[in-house]
């Protein structure tokens, strides 16, 4: 069944409609999961060697996150002003996915660090050209009393994507992985565009003013205090998640002494995914039913913090798997209400893509900060500590991130 925009036909979304709405998130997340958890770390080891792979990974992802931080709100704001006959969001999504697919194919053909870096930064631009307007489809389409459920579907797709994103490079060569990811982007675009037709915006945009356009990117902390608290709490939580995500491959290689981390990486991420599937939809549904968003976010963050602390001290691969299960429960509960909490505190409904783009900077800034901190930390640690000690200490830092982010959620006042 096709989803119509709220202005055309407001109604409760069915399961099929929620799946169509969230499917593009699955393919986009699978792309970045495969690249950041497996493909890019592996390529960095091949391009710069084991002693510098962690630092190179840090600076590469930090540069990409900076590009994404600027691109997403800009493209979101442009889509808010669009009056294209196809709708405000769809033309941007189409252009972004076509560029993304082309760049993924280009990345499969290079083995040199500098060309790879340039293609990676281009990928960030085109990927955000697609995802910035896509994020606005949620406040565009989803009724307020279904935001928790819709957030749960987004979380469900995220977890399926994590598992798929890790398994694809496990069974395919690097070149084939890039090609499959390019095809998946086209598939995800087709499913969501067909399943979520967008009514064109008939009202005329306000007269163009560069000054007003730039001023729209400022969200007053005094008038929208809760938006800033949600932004800050997500940033801190994502510091922890980004650190774990980007350095899990090296943790398994150096701390757990696995020459080939792929099988254990697959096992851990499958454990995270299966555990999160239990909590992701139920927690989102409960947050709608009980009207309690913050409890789910806080509980999810604290559970992830406990799991991260366990990684620091364990010497057992079996325990790594059990901790991954625990982390999955917390991650699912967090994901199920993260989007809903953000949509609940959006400042301006008419500028949803721009506002969601600004909110998503919390993740891209977190990626930048996390990789810069980790890069500096690992560079210094290489001088004084062994690699196992350095990566255990790095994972200890993630525990602090999760606990601090959970505590900051209590500062949000207008959402229970």
What's the CA gap between 393 and 142, in Å, rounded?
A: 42
Burial 105-128 (b: 16+ CB within 10 A, else e): bbbbeeeeeeebbebbbbbbbbbb
pLDDT of 9: 44
Q: How many CB atoms lie within 10 A of CB 392?
A: 18
Cα angle 77, 104, 95 (rounded to 5 degrees) comes to 35
| CB-based contacts of 173, cutoff 8 Å, min separation 6 | none
**Residue 298 burial by CB count (10 A; 0-12/13-18/19+): exposed, middle or buried?**
buried
pLDDT of 295: 81
Cα angle 342, 311, 255 (rounded to 5 degrees) comes to 125
> Domain spans of the chain?
15-199+221-411
Q: Class of 15-199+221-411 per CATH?
A: mainly alpha
pLDDT of 186: 96
Axis crossing angle, helix 293-313 with helix 225-250, rounded to the nearest 10: 30
HSE-up (13 A, CA, CB side) for residue 414 = 15
CB of 236 within 8 A of CB of 404? yes
What's the CA gap between 152 and 281, in Å, rounded?
A: 5
Q: What is the DSSP string of 32-45?
A: HHIIIIIIHHHHHH
What's the CA gap between 139 and 136, in Å, rounded?
A: 6
CB of 374 within 8 A of CB of 223? no
Which secondary structure element, helix H or strand E, spans residue 211, and what is its range? helix 210-215
What's the CA gap between 79 and 93, in Å, rounded?
A: 10
Cα angle 191, 196, 199 (rounded to 5 degrees) comes to 145
Indicate the SS3 state at residue 164.
helix
Each residue's pLDDT tens digit in the chain (416 positions)? 444 444 444 567 778 888 888 999 999 999 998 998 889 888 888 888 777 777 788 788 888 888 888 888 888 888 887 777 777 888 999 999 999 999 999 999 988 888 998 999 999 999 999 998 888 777 777 777 777 777 778 878 887 887 788 889 888 999 999 999 999 999 999 999 888 776 666 556 656 556 666 666 677 778 778 888 888 898 999 999 889 887 888 899 899 989 888 888 888 888 888 888 888 777 767 777 766 778 888 888 999 999 999 999 998 999 999 999 999 989 888 877 777 777 777 776 556 667 777 777 787 788 778 888 888 888 888 788 888 889 999 999 999 999 999 999 888 877 66
pLDDT of 213: 64
| CB-based contacts of 377, cutoff 8 Å, min separation 6 | 390, 393, 394, 397
What's the residue count for the chain? Answer: 416
Q: What is the DSSP string of 82-112?
A: ---TT-SSHHHHHHHHHHHHHHHHHHTT--S
CB of 158 within 8 A of CB of 345? no
Positive/negative CA dihedral, 114, 119, 123, 124: positive
């Amino acid at each position: 069944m096709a989803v119509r925009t709220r202005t055309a036909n407001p109604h409760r979304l069915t399961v099929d409609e929620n799946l169509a709405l969230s499917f593009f998130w699955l393919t986009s997340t699978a792309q970045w999961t495969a690249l950041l958890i497996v493909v890019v770390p592996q390529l960095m080891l091949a391009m710069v060697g084991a002693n510098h792979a962690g630092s190179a990974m840090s600076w590469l992802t930090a540069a990409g996150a900076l590009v994404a931080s600027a691109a997403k709100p800009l493209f979101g704001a442009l889509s808010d002003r669009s009056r294209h006959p196809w709708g405000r969001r769809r033309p941007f999504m189409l252009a972004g996915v076509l560029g993304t697919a082309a760049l993924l194919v280009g990345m499969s053909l290079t083995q040199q660090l500098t060309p790879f870096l340039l293609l990676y930064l281009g990928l960030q631009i085109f990927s955000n050209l697609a995802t910035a307007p896509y994020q606005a489809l949620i406040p565009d389409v989803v009724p307020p009393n279904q935001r928790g459920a819709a957030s749960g579907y987004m979380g469900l797709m995220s977890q399926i994507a994590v598992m798929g994103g890790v398994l694809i490079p496990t069974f395919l060569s690097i070149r084939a992985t890039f090609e499959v990811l390019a095809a998946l982007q086209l598939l995800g675009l087709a499913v969501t565009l067909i399943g979520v037709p967008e009514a064109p915006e008939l009202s005329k945009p306000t007269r163009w003013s560069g000054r007003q356009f730039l001023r729209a990117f400022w969200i007053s902390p005094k008038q929208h205090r809760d938006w800033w608290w949600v932004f800050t709490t997500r940033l801190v939580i994502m510091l922890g998640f980004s650190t774990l995500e980007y350095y899990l491959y090296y943790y398994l290689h150096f701390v757990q002494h696995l020459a080939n981390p792929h099988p254990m990486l697959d096992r851990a991420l499958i454990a995270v995914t299966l555990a999160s599937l239990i909590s992701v939809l139920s927690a989102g549904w409960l947050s709608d039913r009980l009207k309690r968003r913050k409890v789910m976010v806080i509980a999810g963050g604290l559970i992830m913090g406990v799991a991260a602390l366990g990684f620091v001290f364990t010497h057992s691969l079996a325990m790594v798997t059990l901790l991954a299960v625990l982390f999955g429960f917390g991650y699912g509960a967090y994901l199920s209400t993260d989007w809903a909490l953000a949509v609940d505190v959006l400042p301006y409904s008419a500028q949803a893509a721009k506002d969601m783009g600004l909110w998503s900077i919390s993740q891209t800034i977190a990626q930048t900060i996390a990789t810069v901190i980790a890069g500096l930390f690992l560079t210094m640690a290489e001088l004084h500590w062994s690699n196992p000690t350095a990566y255990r200490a790095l994972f200890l830092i993630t525990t602090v991130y999760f606990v601090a982010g959970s505590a900051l959620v209590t500062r949000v006042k207008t959402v229970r």
